[in-house]
């Protein structure tokens, strides 16, 4: 019975999200002529609505830890990646507009990708190799100068709860290249919205924000090692039950 209720709640949420995406993406085109900050705010109301739906329909709530660590300065956000939840949640819930670095194929997703196209994101063609990173640096410098923050997921893909992916140094390479601090973020979203799972489980997601890490005296690799150490250590603080066996 419990799984049946979870299925009904998850199905309801999925249907609401699909309808909301179609409606909101269509409305976003009317916001295209607005100044960027207003266009960003309008577009990100979809994210706010979806997070609210997850709370009301699926019982998924959240709490912040370390929010005071967010600086009033240019920054690159490097986050744990367990779920689709954080890609939706973080956009409207940090203190500056976020710019995602993502594979360009996402822009081809009907409605969702079209709305993303209206924002100053950084789509990359991974087949371009080193030229792809040059593209990130070129556009990243402009976005940081305009007051936006860059966000990347150093593990590259969603990692199951309790596991660790290989941390790639693209985000810290950008930080060193642009002399920008990095904000590490740990969270346990996968406990409520597991990777590749249709079922959404009720619970509280903790989003823990670490102190900014400056690139001074760091190489990209040593900086990423510090980011990885903090995130993975913090995961054991916010999800001790997951790691207790290890």
pLDDT in tens, 94-114: 999 999 988 888 887 887 777
Instruction: Yes or no: say if 235 and 186 are a contact pair by the CB < 8 Å rule.
Output: yes
In this predicted structure, what is the pLDDT of residue 85? 97
Global pTM reads 0.93
In this predicted structure, what is the pLDDT of residue 214? 97
- What domains, with CATH codes, occur in the chain? 2-243 (3.40.1130)
Residue with token string 């993303």:
116
In this predicted structure, what is the pLDDT of residue 134? 85
Residue with token string 């996402």:
106
HSE at residue 159, side-chain half, CA atoms within 13 A, is 18
Q: In this structure, what token pair is assigned to residue 208? A: 């823990």
**What is the percent of the chain with per-residue pLDDT over 70, rounded to a whole number?**
98
**End-to-end Cα distance, the chain:** 32
Asked if pLDDT for residue 245 goes beyond 70, the answer is no
Torsion 52-99-189-9 (CA) sign: positive
Mean pLDDT of the chain: 92
The model's pLDDT over 40-84, given as tens digits with 9 standing for 90+, comes to 999 999 999 999 999 999 999 999 999 999 999 999 999 999 999
């Amino acid at each position: 019975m419990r799984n049946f209720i979870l299925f009904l709640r998850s199905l309801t949420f999925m249907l609401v999200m699909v309808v909301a995406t179609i409606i909101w993406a269509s409305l976003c085109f009317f916001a295209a002529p607005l100044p960027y900050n207003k266009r960003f705010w309008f577009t990100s109301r979809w994210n706010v609505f979806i997070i609210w739906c997850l709370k009301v329909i699926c019982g998924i709530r959240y709490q912040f830890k370390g929010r005071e660590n967010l600086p009033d300065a240019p920054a690159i956000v490097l986050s744990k990646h367990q779920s689709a939840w954080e890609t939706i949640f973080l956009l409207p819930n940090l203190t500056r507009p976020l710019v995602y670095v993502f594979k360009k194929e996402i822009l081809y997703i009907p409605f969702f990708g079209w709305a993303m196209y209206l924002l100053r994101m950084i789509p990359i063609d991974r087949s371009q190799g080193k030229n792809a990173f040059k593209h990130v640096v070129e556009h990243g410098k402009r976005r940081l100068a305009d007051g936006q923050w860059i966000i990347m997921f150093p593990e590259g893909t969603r990692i199951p709860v309790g596991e660790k992916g290989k941390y790639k140094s693209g985000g810290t390479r950008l930080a060193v290249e642009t002399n920008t601090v990095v904000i590490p973020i740990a969270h346990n979203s996968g406990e409520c919205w597991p990777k590749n799972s249709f079922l959404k489980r009720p619970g509280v997601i903790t989003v823990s924000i670490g102190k900014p890490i400056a690139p001074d005296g760091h190489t990209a690799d040593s900086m990423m090692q510090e980011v990885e150490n903090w995130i993975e250590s913090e995961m054991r603080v916010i999800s001790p039950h997951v790691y207790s066996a290890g």
